[in-house]
Structure 1
Amino acid sequence: MIDHSRQKNKKGTIPAFTPVPRHYNRHDGWTPERQRGFIEALADTGSVKSAAHAVNMTPEGAYLLRRHEQAGEFRKAWDAALACGVQRLEDIAMDRALNGVEVPVYSYGKLIGTRRKYNDRLLMFLLRNRAPKRFGEGGAHKENAYTRQQLEKLKAEWRHEWETEKRTESEAVVERLNRKLDLMAERRRADMSAEERRLEAELDAARKRRLALPGPAEADDDAADVEEADFEDAPAEPAAPTAPEEPASHRTVSIKHGWPDDGRATPFRGRW
């Protein structure tokens, strides 16, 4: 049974050909309908295996049919279909090189999102094939520095465009959130009574006055700075005069009582 769910190739891209004649017309063999379906599938997929499976045949049978002595037109159609398939693959590669591919991002075994990954090697490969004089191996020595400079310039431009797009999206999201918050605030004010509005106005005024005043920590710091400045500016007090210390062999004693005197108890002092 032939797979009819596959999208058929456009008409005119594959040359018409005469199917390879078979010795026996078997319903499960390479019938003319299967040969045409195989060529169309080959043009769509670029894979012999996929094209053969699309018509419920094997790739080995397709290669045997290609080697048939009367398969000249079939081989030409085969080559034309492969050219179409290669062009499709080249388009896919160009799309991946320009737009990248989405890859999943996992955290602790759970999928948390995706990110876009770009392949610079694929981009350079396509540039070398599309512009071999500028980016090919022959001009690598002459234009290697120029190529790197151009690639860095292109990367910077692409990065700038991407960041601008992301910034614009972020600003749009913030703007939408602000509009929603403003709308919610307006609805809440509309549902408030006159007394609630008066209390809210007084609360806002108190908050503004509080913000205008210095905080407790700032006030303590200012007071500490003032005290430290006053202490540094104050003149040093003169030291109190002290009496000369007498030798240990001479002790001042009281004549009246007979115990050591400090010189202030009585004016009558003697040597002991």
Structure 2
Amino acid sequence: MTRRTDPRTVRTTLPAANPAGQLPDFTPVPRQGNRHDGWTEQRQRAFIEALADTGSVHAACKAVDMSQPGAYYLRRQPGAESFRAAWQAALDLGVQRIEDTAMDRALNGVEVPVYSYGKLVGTRRVVNDRLLMFMLRNRAPERFAEGSAKSLNAVGKMELKRLKKQWRQEYRKEWEAEQQAGQKADQEPASPQQKMETAQRARQIIDAKLDELRQSIEARHAAEWKTLSPETRDAYRRYEELRARDLKREVQMPAHLASEEDIATEHAEIERAVQLRKRGGRPEETPTLPPPGWGKRKPAERPAEENPRWRSIKDDGWQ
């Protein structure tokens, strides 16, 4: 892999190099040809140092003016075992630098631009409290964990999970041992008759549950059947007739489905109940025919006079 020839390539400005002794000494990957623009021994060492300083493969490749695929290709070559080990050590140092940067941001914050009406008017420093607590909980979990598993770091969570699994296994072994000891000491093996009675009771319970479930399903189907239109019910009956004809058997409608007469009677009763509720609970008065001769009026009979008296023409009914 050759170096890019673009003269406009800008090399990344690296921070201060790592102190001597932190990076392990490694044997560069042997190359077939020693090209001045290839992965020479000096460029490989510079790449490892840049990787330790930045923690980024892309930035390290840019620092030595080489391509990133070329670095991974070099890592896969035969005899690159020492180079891969140095690569991993450099990444570890880069992670330490990232931790230092995160700690610096947690303590000192970052500069955030301030805009007003679309124009930059200044900056302000913002401190991330969540980042600060994250760093504290991971650096000193025994002091800032607050006694909860959520506040532990990744290692603490894994350790707690392992201990819980171990405690659960130990408790289960003790419980099984106690159960076996209790069965041997207090209980005798059940006789065939007892086993049969237990099976019969279990079968009765299961049958009762199934009957209850069947009844609830039939009741729901019956209620849905009554809400269907007569046309839909006739179509279903026709379907059962055609099905029975194709299967060469008698038509068997489900017993829980009401007939049209029963549905009409139930609807009439519901209608009467509604009308009765509208009348305030009073039954409907059935009209009756008048008695015979109700249109002929009879003169009212006057009581007989006790003492006779003189009558005149003005007297009513005088003859």
* TM-score using structure 2 length: 0.41
* TM-score using structure 1 length: 0.47
Bigger radius of gyration among the two? 2
